[in-house]
Amino acid sequence: MSIIPFHDRDGLIWFDGNLVPWREANVHVLTHGLHYGSCVFEGERIYNGSVFKLREHSERLLKSAELLGFEIPYTVEEIDAATIATCKAANMVNGYIRPVAWRGSEMMGVSAQHNKIHLAIACWEWPSYFSPEARMKGIHLQLSKWRRPAPDTAPTASKAAGLYMICTLSKHTAEKAGFQDALMLDYRGLVAEATGANFFMVKDGVIHTPIPDCFLDGITRRTVIDLAKRRGYQVIERRIELPEVEHADEIFLTGTAAEVTPVGRIDDWTFTPGEVCRNLMLDYDALVNGRLAAAAAE
């Protein structure tokens, strides 16, 4: 399969206030964000020319930076406008958007009090995170050996680049073993999330999801909870022990990239995507494509 590397593409990227040629949107090798993880980002989707939950994503980007101790030099309104301008310049109607902010290269060391804060926004075409065939059958997850850190050991409420290192390790290990993704436990050994998506399970018609006290309370997660309640489903946010998962009727993941993705297997446990998964997949698709706009505004 031919892969087009992300550094060598046509197009424009919004970079510190200007749209610049894609191949020129570069940073120095001694950038603090690269060496010390002082970098935050968002993942967004544009559907039919409208960026889904744009304001919430821009607000979270600013909050993530604040949690990492730096201030992005743009307002929410300016970031929203820059995102829209980036999509317009790319003639992007359906695709993925990546805003990213980081400390620059003025100081090299753990301390970076005087480093400039940069912001860039790129967008590209990106279909469903998992193939349609995999989604309908339910993807396969491997239990990861890595655990989500405790909130007093890392800024777990931020979408910080450094927090994804163990996600990459987990996903690579899972893929090498023939799985599509990994299920991660938290520092207590409780069910947490997948490597880039939140976790839900269904038992006797009731939806259960972990309390996001040491991982991101995803924007898609909150959206799907609202959709489920609108359908009349009971949704319980609670601590979930791993042995409970084996007896679930359905399992699914949610995220900007994953959208609503059923799970068919976790290690040796198997599940059959059912009515709840199908309904929420349909409702989410209708919402992001504007067919549930009136209901979403209620």
| CA gap 109, 32 in Å, rounded | 8
Q: Which of 145, 159, 176, 229 is catalytic?
A: 159
Element spanning 76, H or E: helix 76-89
Q: How many other CB atoms are there within 10 angstroms of residue 74's CB atom?
A: 20
C-alpha closest to that of 261 among 215, 206, 216, 195: 195
Give whole-number Cα distances, 285 to 52, 95, 249, in Å: 11, 14, 22
H helices present in 192-291, as ranges: 219-230, 242-245, 275-288
Q: How many other CB atoms are there within 10 angstroms of residue 224's CB atom?
A: 27
The reported pLDDT for the residue numbered 135 is: 72
| CA gap 176, 187 in Å, rounded | 25
The reported pLDDT for the residue numbered 130 is: 61
| Structure tokens that stand for 144 in this block | 């990861």
The tens digit of pLDDT for each residue in 150-199 reads 999 999 999 999 999 999 999 999 999 999 999 999 999 999 999 999 99
53 is annotated as an active-site residue: no
C-alpha closest to that of 194 among 139, 244, 247, 114: 139
The reported pLDDT for the residue numbered 126 is: 83
DSSP 92: -
The reported pLDDT for the residue numbered 131 is: 56
| CA gap 196, 85 in Å, rounded | 27
The reported pLDDT for the residue numbered 18 is: 98
Among the four given CATH numbers 1.10.20.60, 2.40.50.320, 3.30.360.10, 3.30.470.10, the one describing domain 12-124: 3.30.470.10
Q: What integer best gives the mean pLDDT of the chain?
A: 94
The reported pLDDT for the residue numbered 295 is: 46
* Comma-separated ranges of CATH 3.30.470.10 domains in the chain: 12-124
The reported pLDDT for the residue numbered 290 is: 87
Q: How far is CA 244 from the centre of its chain?
A: 25
Q: For domain 132-296, give the fold.
A: D-amino Acid Aminotransferase; Chain A, domain 2 (3.20.10)
C-alpha closest to that of 284 among 200, 209, 231, 224: 224
Please return the burial class of 199, using the count of CB atoms within 10 Å of its CB with bins 0-12, 13-18 and 19+.
buried
From first to last of its 298 residues, the chain has per-residue pLDDT tens of: 568 899 999 999 999 999 999 999 999 999 999 999 999 999 999 999 999 999 999 999 999 999 999 999 999 999 999 999 999 999 999 999 999 999 999 999 999 999 999 999 999 998 766 655 667 789 999 999 999 999 999 999 999 999 999 999 999 999 999 999 999 999 999 999 999 999 999 999 999 999 999 999 999 999 999 999 999 999 999 999 999 999 999 999 999 999 999 999 999 999 999 999 999 999 999 999 887 754 444 4
The reported pLDDT for the residue numbered 296 is: 45
The reported pLDDT for the residue numbered 134 is: 64
pTM beyond cutoff 0.75: yes
